[in-house]
Chains A and B, each alone.
Chain A
Amino acid sequence: MSVVTFISHDGEKYETPLEEGVSLMQVAVDNMVPGIDGDCGGEAACGTCHVVVEDGWIDQVGRSGPVEEEMLAMNPEREPNSRLSCQMRLSDSLGGLVVRLPEFQL
C-alpha cells in the first residue's frame, strides 16, 4: 500500500496511507496528524493546512495556484515549496510523498 509522510517541525515522522482522490489535508485530519488544522474545511480560505513539499517532489505535486497564493502570501513562514494541503489531490503517482509541517499554522 502507498503511503505519504508528514515530518513535524521537531522531526517527528507520521506515515499515513495514501487515499486516492482525497486531499492531503483530509488524509492528515482523518489520521489525526498533529499540526494540520484545516479550519475552513478545504476551501483554501484559512491557510491552516500549510505544508512544505520536499524538494524532490515539487515538480510532481506542482506549485501553489493563485487562490492558494492569496493565503500563503500573507504567511511570514512561507517557503518556495509551500502549499495548502487541501488543494493537493492525492493520486497513486504520489506514493511515498514527503511533506514538512511548519512550526505553527497561522
Chain B
Amino acid sequence: MTTLTTVTDAMTERAQSIVPMSMQIRGAHLYDRARRFVTRTNGQKIFVEKPIPPVEEVALVDIDLSNPFLYRQGKWQSYFERVRNEAPVHFQANSPFGPFWSVTRHADIIAVDKDHETFSAEPFIIIGEPPRFMDVAMFIAMDPPKHDRQRAAVQGVVAPKNLREMESLIRSRVQEVLDDLPIGEPFNWVDRVSIELTARMLATLLDFPYEQRRKLVEWSDLASSMEQANGGPSDNDEVFRGFVDAAQGLSALWRDKEARLAGGEEPGFDLITMLQRNEDTKDLIDRPMEFLGNLVLLIVGGNDTTRNSMSGGILAMNRFPDQFEKLKANPDLIPNAVSEIIRWQTPLAYMRRVAKKDTVLNGQFIRKGDKVVMWYASGNRDERVFDRPDDLIIDRSNARNHISFGFGVHRCMGNRLAEMQLKILWEELLPRFEKIEVVEEPEYVQSNFVRGISRLMVTLTPKTQA
C-alpha cells in the first residue's frame, strides 16, 4: 500500500467516524420520539413531586428508596435509618424502575462491592436505564477483565507524578476564583465556586478549550439527570441534543489532539492523549458508544461529585458551626475534615449491581438477575460504624472509612484528585474568610443518584487583617 492510499484511507475513516456517532444518537432520538408518540407519553413526566409522608406512616414493603425527591424533601435520613434497622437488605417489588434490592448497611455494602463474581456492574450502574439505543458503554459498568483494560488506560492521569504537577495549578485556580468573589453580599456558591472550579479542572484534565469549559458541565448535567435512568428532571429531547453536541465536541477534541501529536507536538498528560497512546484504547473513537460512554464517565465522575462536596462542605459547616470554629483553630485537621465532608455529603447515593447467580446476603435470598442497589448514602450513616452518624465531626477518627468512593475494582479512580481539590479549597478559604454564612435554605437536585445542591446562597465576611 502506498503512503497516499494510507493517508486517504485514514481520512475516510476519520470522516466516517465523526458522522456515525452523531447519526447514531439522532437515530436513537427518532426512535424515542416515535415511542413517545405511539405510547402517547410525549410531554408526560414520569415523576411529579408530591410530599413524601413521614416514614412511620409507611409499611416497610412500600418504602421506595428510588423516589427522586427523598433527598430534596429531607426525608432520606429517616427512611434509610428505618430500613437499616428493620430490613437492612430490603426488597421493593413495584418501583417505577421495576423491582430492586436495597443494601443499606456499611458491612453489607462492602461485601457486595468487593464481590464482582456474584454482583455484576453490567449493563448500568443506575437503578433505571438510559433511553433505548443510547446505551453508551463505560468501564464503570463493565466487569473484569474488560473493565481493567479500559480503566488502566486512563488511570495514569491521576498517578502521583501527575497529581504533583497539578497541585500548584489547582491552587492558583482556586485563588483566582476566591479572590473574585463578592464580599458582604449574597451570591450562589454553587455557581460561582463549586461549578466554576470543577469546570476549570475538567477542562485541564481533558485539555478541552478553556473558554468552552461550561459545555463540559452542561453535558455532564444532562448525562446524569435522565428521568428514566435515575429520576432526574431532564427532558429526553434535551438529552439527545446535548449528546449530539457532546459527540461532536469530543470527537473534534480527539481529532485535534491526534493531529497535533502526529504533527510532532510533545504528548501531554491529559486524558485524551493517554487514551490515544494506549494499545487498548487508541482506536476508541472507532467504537462510538464506548468512546462517548467513557469520556462522559470521566466528565461526570469529575463533576457532580467534587462540585457537591464543595457545596456540601459549606452547608455542613453552617449546620455544625462549632466544627468550623474547630477547623479555623486547627487547620491541620483539613485532610480529615475533607474525608468527613465526603462522608457527610456522599455526592453519589449508590451504585447498582445485578446478581449473576442465586445468592444469600445478610439472610435474604437474592435471585440471579435481580437488581441490587448499594446505598452508599446509607452506609455512610450506619450507626454500627459511625458514632452520631448524622453529625459532621471533622476530627472523627474513622472518617476515612467512609464508603463514598466505593470499594473493590470500581473504587473511584479520581479519589486522590478529589481530596486534593477539596483540601486546597479549604486551605485557601480559611485565611481569607472569617465567616461563610448560608443565608437561605438551599435548593436540591431532583435525582435518586446525584445528591446535589443546586443553589446555596452565602455571604462572606473577610478576615480582618491583624
Which of A10-18, A42-50, A89-97 makes up part of the contact surface? A42-50
10 residue pairs bridging A and B, Cβ less than 8 Å apart? A43-B110, A43-B407, A45-B408, A45-B411, A46-B411, A71-B411, A76-B159, A77-B160, A104-B163, A106-B158
Asked if A104 meets B416 with Cβ closer than 8 Å, knowing A39-B401, A40-B407, the reply is: yes
**What residues of chain A have their CB less than 8 Å away from a CB belonging to chain B?**
37-41, 43-47, 70-71, 73-74, 76-77, 102-104, 106
Query: Bound state CA distance, A76 and B157, in angstroms?
Result: 10
Interface residues of B (CB under 8 A from A): 110, 113-114, 144, 148, 151-152, 155-156, 158-160, 163, 400-402, 405, 407-409, 411, 413, 415-416
The residues of B that contact A40 with a CB separation of less than 8 Å are 110, 401, 407
**Apart from A39-B402, A45-B114, A70-B408, what 4 extra A-B contacts exist at CB < 8 Å?**
A46-B405, A46-B411, A104-B416, A106-B416
Residues A74 and B152 in contact in the complex (CB < 8 Å), given A39-B401, A43-B407, A47-B411? yes
Point out the residues of chain B lying under 8 angstroms from A39, CB to CB.
400-402, 405
Complex: chain A residue closest to B157, CB-CB: A76
> With A70-B408, A71-B409 given, is the CB distance from A77 to B159 under 8 Å?
yes
Q: For the complex, would chain B's binding face be called helix, strand, loop or mixed by DSSP majority? A: helix
Q: How far is the CA of A77 from the CA of B159 in the complex (A)?
A: 8
CA–CA, A86 and B110, complex, Å: 15
**A70 CA / B334 CA spacing, docked (Å):** 31
Interface of A is mostly: loop
Task: Determine the residue in chain B with the shortest Cβ distance to A77.
Answer: B160
Give chain A nearest CB distance to B417 CB in angstroms: 10
**A38 (CB) vs chain B CBs: closest residue:** B400
Give the complex CA separation of A41 and B401 in angstroms: 7
Q: Which residues of B contact A71 (CB under 8 A)?
A: 408-409, 411
Name the CB-closest residue of A to B158: A106
Q: Which residues of chain B are within 8 angstroms of A73 by Cβ–Cβ distance?
A: 148, 152
